[in-house]
Structure 1
Amino acid sequence: MSMTDTEAMTTLIKQFNQSSAQVMDIKTTTFELHLNKQAETVQTTSTQPHQTVVNTPVSAPTPTSETAAQAGGTTVTAPLVGVAYLAADPQQAPFVQVGDHVKAGETLCVIEAMKMINEVPSPVSGTVKEVLIKNATMVEFDEPLFAIEETTA
């Protein structure tokens, strides 16, 4: 699949999650997309050789972290659907842990989507107050990942 197909699917999934529709089917020359909130799965099938089928849970958007809201902080959310990893390698330490000070732009975690690794940078400088996901878990678009208390300076 091309990046255009990936971007199109990501956009469609986002719009579907924000809509009141319960089922949506889309078929193009390069992929098929079946979304069903009632069955709580997403299926994507490519018609090109050597492509895979992806099954991803779909649910209502998760509320933002109360910790970040109470502290006047920032909740960092997933920019795409994929598997989130808190470290670059299972043998290495996590990118960040609770209590760590991060700078804006510093990598908090990575999300693997369709064999592509995407870094998730911190949008602000501050202290990591909460890690809201576990390592190697599937995350949805806009799912809260980290709570960061912003620092001024």
Structure 2
Amino acid sequence: MSMTDTEAMTALINQFNQSSAQVMDVKTTTFELHLNKQAETAETNSARSQPAVTDSAVPVVKPTTEVATQSGTTMVTAPLVGVAYLAADPKQAPFVQVGDRVKSGETLCVIEAMKMINEVPSPVSGIVKEVLIKNATMVEFDEPLFAIEETTV
């Protein structure tokens, strides 16, 4: 997805948020976008006031992370649509890498959506087996991000 596509999608999301519309679906040959304010309200009310990764004083929404467990491996999926970053800053090391031990609740990556930074926590303790995304790429809702082999840390 080019930067122009990302900017266009961001503009659509911003316009949707400022409108009274509750649901919006956009489908092109390169991507699909589904926005639903009714679903967002439940997520937004469930978790707030998590400190941002950046120096910004804006509260961070911490959406629930969906997981799919297969034979001791937990797949961590994207809780929302946005741009995924593997580190808090381009000059810093990634939050986690393949082979790292993580604890339940530890930040795996962040997703920027509508200029808000959303942490993606590990739902389980274990060892990172796969990082399924590249830094600074657009991710879709429910897209697999990490594979974690469950252990007791």
After TM superposition, the score normalised by the length of structure 2 is 0.60
Shift of 1:152: 3.0
Could you tell me which runs of 5 or more consecutive residues in structure 1 were left unpaired when the two chains were aligned: 1-5, 11-27, 45-63
Question: Which of 17, 24, 33 is equivalent to 2:24?
Answer: 33
For 2:21 and 2:115, the matched residues in 1 are separated by: 18
For 1:109 and 1:39, the matched residues in 2 are separated by: 25
Q: Which structure's CA Rg is the greater one?
A: 1
Alignment of 1:82-101 (within 5 A): 82-101=82-101
RMSD: 3.1
Alignment of 1:16-55 (within 5 A): 28-29=19-20, 33-36=24-27, 40-42=31-33
Shift of 1:34: 4.0
Equivalent AA in structure 1 for residue 88 of structure 2: A
Shift of 1:40: 3.2
Shift of 1:35: 1.9
Alignment of 1:44-123 (within 5 A): 69=70, 72-123=72-123
Relative to 1, partners in 2 of residues 1:32 and 1:74: Cα closer, same or farther, differing over 3 Å?
closer
Residues 80-109 of structure 1, C-alpha deviation per residue, up to 9 Å, x if partnerless? 000000000000000000000000000000
Equivalent AA in structure 1 for residue 26 of structure 2: L
Equivalent AA in structure 1 for residue 72 of structure 2: G
Relative to 1, partners in 2 of residues 1:98 and 1:113: Cα closer, same or farther, differing over 3 Å?
same
Aligned to 1:125: 125
Report the number of matched residues: 107
Could you tell me which runs of 5 or more consecutive residues in structure 2 were left unpaired when the two chains were aligned: 1-12, 36-66
For 2:101 and 2:88, the matched residues in 1 are separated by: 19
Shift of 1:142: 0.4
Aligned to 1:134: 134
